[in-house]
Every structure is written in C-alpha cells, then in structure tokens.
Amino acid sequence: MEAKGAVEAALFSSSENLRISDIAERTGFPEEEVRTALMDLRREYDDRDSAIVIAKIGSEFRMMLRSDYSDYTGRFGKAEMSGGLMRTLSTIAYNQPVMQSELVKVRGPRAYEDVHALEDMGFVSGKRVGQTKELTTTKKFSEYFGIGSTRKADIRKWIESQASNRTQE
C-alpha cells in the first residue's frame, strides 16, 4: 500500500478535518510521507479540475466538494435539513450575531426548535445574554458548507453568491 492511497482513503472517509500528525499516526506512514502525499493529491485534483478538492483549513486538511459544483448535490443527494431549518440557519449566518428573540420575530416560534436542532448538529452556538441567546455559526458550519472562512463578512459574501447562483438558474 502506498502513502498517497492511504492518505486519500483517510480524507475520503473522515467527517472531520485531519492534521498531518493524525493521518500519520493512524496510517503508520511517516509525517513527511503524508505531507508529500497530501501535496501530490491536492495538485492532482486541481490539475484535472476535479469537482473534489483537498482543502487546507488552517493546519488541517479535508476532502470536499468544490463550491462550483454544489448545485448538483441537491439533485442526487437527500437533503439532510428541511427547507425551514436551512432558512433559519441562513438567517443566523447572514445576520450573526443575532439574538434568538429577534430570530423568533422573523422566523416565528418554530425558530426555538430550529435553534435547538442546529445547536445539536454543531452548526450554531448560543451564548446567554439576559433572557435570550446570542446566536452565531460555528467552525463546523463553515467547514460543512465549504466556505473556507469563519469571518462574518466572508460567510455573508458566500451566502450572497449562493443566492445569486440560484436566481440565475
């Protein structure tokens, strides 16, 4: 078995971002071999203009769908979130930080259930402020949707680009 194949299998099967040291420890290959394999894989996926990309997020790596191809996933994959839940998540992401009490005014009382579900999924975190919560998205949210940043401005820009892509269809 070669290191490149083992690294590719690790990235493909992991639902989390992986550090070079994690991959090396679990595959038994030296860190330098894992690093070289990662760079080779990234180059290969980029050179063939694949729908898959090996993304570097900080010091971690993840195999993910290139955002240009995200429109196709809904046509084949089953939605993991209902439309209402996705709208609540989008509202939080676009307006963050947002108070849960304000969210309920916009989205209705169902927002309480949605926030609980989104917190359970790890996409949203809430901090108590008086009698309500201040809601923001998490690192997991940015990683899951392939945004590449946790900065509010970058998330807002990404949401706007997704909305723009939908209206052009």
Torsions phi, psi for 125 (to 5 deg): -125, 150
The label of the residue with tokens 């940015």 reads: 142
* Four-residue CA torsion sign, 55, 57, 61, 62: negative
pTM: 0.56
Q: Quick one: pLDDT at residue 75?
A: 62
Residues shown for the chain: 169
For residue 2, name the pLDDT band (cuts at 50, 70, 90).
Answer: very high
* Separation of CA 4 from chain center: 24
d(CA 63, CA 146): 10
Pairing of β 124-129 and β 132-137: antiparallel
Token representation of residue 131: 């009698």
> Across all residues in the chain, what is the average pLDDT?
86
Tell me: pLDDT of 131 over 80. yes
Tell me: pLDDT of 64 over 80. yes
Tell me: pLDDT of 78 over 60. no
Query: For the packed helices 31-47 and 20-27, what is the interaxial angle rounded to 10 degrees?
Result: 110
Asked if residue 2 lies in contact with residue 10, where contact means CB atoms within 8 angstroms, the answer is no
For residue 164, name the pLDDT band (cuts at 50, 70, 90).
Answer: low
Print burial letters for 79-107: b (CB count within 10 Å at least 16), e (below 16): eeeeeebeebbebbbbbbebbbeebbeeb
Of 2-6, 103-107, 139-143, least confident by mean pLDDT is: 139-143
Token representation of residue 50: 């694949």
